[in-house]
Structure 1
Amino acid sequence: MALFIDQQTLDDLIIFSKGKNASICSFFNQTVTRGGEEQLITMLQYPMNHKEEIQGRVDILRLLMSIPTLEFPFTSLDFSDIEQYLSETDSRSQIQNSKKSLKAKLRYLLKVDAQILHTKNGIAALQRVIQAFVIFAANIPVAKKTDSWSKFEQSALKITETTLWKDFLDTEKSVQITDKNIHKVDQRCRFDDKEVILGFMKATYELDALIAVAQVALNKNLTLPLILDDSDDTELDIDGLYHPLVPNAVPNKLSLGHKEHILFLTGANMAGKSTFMKSLGISLYLAHLGFPIPANHMRFKVKDGLFTTINLSDNISSGYSHFYAEVLRVKRVAVELGNKKKLYVFFDELFRGTNVKDAYDGTLELLKSFAHKTDSFFLISTHITEVAEELSHLNNIHFAYLPTILENDKPVYTYTLEKGVSEDRHGMVIIENEKILEILA
């Protein structure tokens, strides 16, 4: 089953982007084939919420990452020939076994000469790709093959169990494909055994996507996540966490015990709260994909869904103010929690669309309610630090902040998470540094 997410979360975490803007998808997209790129996009669209499925992909990627000089084992040009050949599904394009007179045969062969050449190229390319897959799989030591890889390999290579492979395509054992028997091979490839061939091609595209992810992990020093049991004393443990799309990002670490399922985050504007939230959200998203994450290590618990509210805007078309959009967002989370869903929930500067008094009251009451939802994890950032005093008696809230240091009356941001509640009050200093009041005088 898939992890429950929505468009707001995808946008907040920049999983996909329009045009050439950087995204998590573009970060991992080192695929060779068009089909491989499509498979990568499909994977990214559907993070998982079953431990076994996540662990299965983690195991496959760990195996691929252990292969010396890992590279795509196929020739990319072969895929163009195969795709063009298999795309012609009209039975009228099938190569015929003509039994006409010699003169009629000559006219027929002249007419379809280009078609025969095209068919031969497609079948030959298919032979090479299948053979390359067989060799790639055979070169992986049996001791390294996990259950998930073995299932993937077995499914992909069902084609080698067909008589099509044994009689025609196996270059080591089969007869040579000639003008006399090509009509039989064409019939089998494009019609009789079409489904098993398409299944094999899908597997090669998936392998392309997985190899791309593994290569990025090796080149960027990413690490594979470890899944915790729900009963584990640790709620979340991550070290060296950073945002993969931010140049020279400062790494952070966070370790929360079993009872600490709420992270109360404070800090001045520009201190890095939103970036930290996005970094953690991206890593949790990738972890539920079984993908490598931008950190030194990560241990996490699998949940049913991930909701982030970081870059929420008003909805002019629906007539919603920013505050009402926030309220609807909170309501949606509340409904899912009421349905016994285990969630990761992020709110950046909760209720910033209303006055300070209502924001204080709303944040306080909401966090008190979240404190009872111990199966879910909540990350709430706020400037209303006074709320922390009212919540200090709760032992399931972890208080952390991102500090700001004043040097010569100028703020310097460490972007390094520390335990506690921020006491930074540097807003007026920044206003004075920009000489706004002098300009208005």
Structure 2
Amino acid sequence: MSNSSARPDLLDIDSHTFKDLEIFTSDNGGASLFDFCNRTRSVGGAALLRRRMQTPWACAERIAATQAAVRFITESRALFKQMPSVYAVEGTQDYLEEILPSLDFRNRLEFALGAFQVWANQDSHYFSIVKGAQAACRMIRALRSFVALPALKSAPGELGPLLQQLRALLSRPNLRMVPDFDVAGWGTWKMLKLDQALRVKEKDTLNRLLALNYEMEALVSMADANAEHGFVMPEICYGPLHVTAEGLYHPYLAHPVANPVSLNQQHRILFLTGPNMAGKTTYLRAFATALYLAHLGMGVPAQSFQFVPVQCLFSSISLTDDLCRGVSYFRAEALRVKAVAEAVARGDRVLTLMDEPFKGTNVKDAFEASLAILERFSTRENCLFMFSSHQIELSDHLHRLHNQVNCRYFEAVESGERLHFDYKLRPGISDQRLGMRVLREEGIFELLDQATAPEIEFSPAEDGIP
């Protein structure tokens, strides 16, 4: 997926990054970020929220418009309880999608004969028409009352245009014939005339009303998710690319340890070290998830968050080989770096996260490749990079990289019999090497030492004995 080529106001985020951040699927079978944010009531509302999450914004103005709408909904949440019920909305959706006979006769006599035929010979269709028309009327009446609320006249951000479009559509002559009372008592003639006006003449209008309602439902869901999870609305900045955060954490964790983030044009690269299980990958995912949510116009899991919007967001966390295409693990890594390089070469504002890259080759190649990539990253203006690595030997060379590298690490506390992790980010580079200790703690060597080789018995003939 590449949004930037078609829509420059959309964030360029590909399928691999969606997978790394578990936006729509989770490798461990748990909830995705979409599930985490989805508070919609209808199928159509969920589809609109999914579409929003597939296409985050890349420009400050679009993000600000969504933020303003979400803030207003949060502050005026009671108003949005007056939106049409899910029963009326989904009843209208079914009404428009169901295959039903329609009466579109200009002649009054032909319409009367057709109405009688529908009523007399197609009673199941007739009752579906009545049920659907009643649902559409309920939705129209609810929308009329909703858009007329005085507090919504000055609704900010995305809400303003949405409400204006709703008011314009509701003022169409055929929709004005919908009364402000329940039409359950209407006879066959009036119901079929109403059906003709709604489903034949104004079908496109009803579909547009539904779409606008779903857009608002998605925005309400975003506001509700913010409130439920305690997210903080980020501050949109301008100028050279930078991202700064305090108290950042991953939203999935029950008891997260919060950490800061600082990436700017003085330190374009965050070089992250530390032993396995200390928190490097979680930190990368927490940061990328927060930045992604910020580009949606939502709040983020942090105490504060300031950012200049980027055009491209890449992650390289959970790469795999591809046997069907004959792509080895290392070639998959190379192709991932190539995708980043192409975006950088275009002059896009790029933010990239690379978790222990070049694991698919030998140590010498991995060292040389990492250093070569870091050297080139350090010179790219208006781009930012997070780079985690076990190759602590790189630290001897980082001073050459134009002072662009900010070194941070996580560590394990080695007191006692078992390792302890506090998940706190520290300045500097870790020199901990804990692989052998972890193997010992798990008792692996002890198990192997206890194992005895099976005895092999030889027959005299096999042993050359007569």
TM over 0.5: yes
Q: Which amino acid aligns with 1:218?
A: A
Tell me whether 1:260 sits opposite 2:270 in the alignment: no
Aligned partner (choices 145, 150, 157) of residue 135 of structure 1: 145
**Distance in 2 between residues matched to 1:418 and 1:11, nearest whole Å:** 28
The answer to whether the 8 A contact 2:115-2:189 is kept is: no
Tell me whether 1:395 sits opposite 2:403 in the alignment: yes
**Distance in 2 between residues matched to 1:302 and 1:83, nearest whole Å:** 37
Shift of 1:143: 7.7
The answer to whether the 8 A contact 1:157-1:200 is kept is: no
Aligned partner (choices 61, 68, 71) of residue 52 of structure 1: 61
Shift of 1:246: 2.8
The answer to whether the 8 A contact 1:346-1:378 is kept is: yes
Secondary structure class of the residue paired with 1:180: helix
Note closer, same or farther for the CA distance 1:417–1:94 as it changes in structure 2 (3 Å cut): farther
Where does residue 24 of structure 1 map in the other structure? 33
**Distance in 1 between residues matched to 2:311 and 2:150, nearest whole Å:** 34
**Distance in 1 between residues matched to 2:379 and 2:272, nearest whole Å:** 19
Deviations 1:239-279 (Å, cap 9, x if unpaired)? Answer: 22222223322222213344222111111100111111111
Shift of 1:369: 0.3
User: Can you give the 5+ residue segments of structure 2 that lack an aligned partner in the other structure?
Assistant: 1-6, 450-466
Shift of 1:162: 0.3
The answer to whether the 8 A contact 2:310-2:350 is kept is: yes
Shift of 1:311: 0.5
Where does residue 11 of structure 1 map in the other structure? 19
Between 52-61 and 131-140, the greater mean CA deviation after superposition: 131-140
Note closer, same or farther for the CA distance 1:125–1:264 as it changes in structure 2 (3 Å cut): same
Note closer, same or farther for the CA distance 1:102–1:266 as it changes in structure 2 (3 Å cut): closer
The answer to whether the 8 A contact 1:158-1:196 is kept is: no
Shift of 1:170: 4.6
Note closer, same or farther for the CA distance 1:401–1:143 as it changes in structure 2 (3 Å cut): farther
RMSD (Å) for aligned C-alpha atoms: 2.8
Deviations 1:19-78 (Å, cap 9, x if unpaired)? Answer: 963100111122110111111111111112122112111111111111144647322222
Shift of 1:142: 5.2
Q: What percentage of aligned pairs have identical amino acids?
A: 29
Secondary structure class of the residue paired with 2:287: helix
**Distance in 1 between residues matched to 2:268 and 2:49, nearest whole Å:** 32
Where does residue 385 of structure 1 map in the other structure? 392
Note closer, same or farther for the CA distance 1:277–1:58 as it changes in structure 2 (3 Å cut): same
Shift of 1:95: 7.5
The answer to whether the 8 A contact 1:61-1:210 is kept is: yes
Where does residue 42 of structure 1 map in the other structure? 51
The answer to whether the 8 A contact 1:267-1:383 is kept is: yes
Secondary structure class of the residue paired with 1:379: strand
Q: Which amino acid aligns with 1:397?
A: V
Note closer, same or farther for the CA distance 1:369–1:135 as it changes in structure 2 (3 Å cut): same
1:299-318 → structure 2 map (5 Å cutoff): 299-318=306-325
Where does residue 159 of structure 1 map in the other structure? 169
Note closer, same or farther for the CA distance 1:140–1:372 as it changes in structure 2 (3 Å cut): farther
Aligned partner (choices 354, 369, 390) of residue 362 of structure 1: 369
Where does residue 94 of structure 2 map in the other structure? 84
Shift of 1:182: 3.2
**Distance in 2 between residues matched to 1:100 and 1:236, nearest whole Å:** 68
The answer to whether the 8 A contact 1:60-1:149 is kept is: yes
Shift of 1:177: 5.7
Where does residue 61 of structure 1 map in the other structure? 70
**Distance in 2 between residues matched to 1:316 and 1:401, nearest whole Å:** 35
Secondary structure class of the residue paired with 1:407: coil
Where does residue 110 of structure 1 map in the other structure? 120
Note closer, same or farther for the CA distance 1:338–1:68 as it changes in structure 2 (3 Å cut): closer
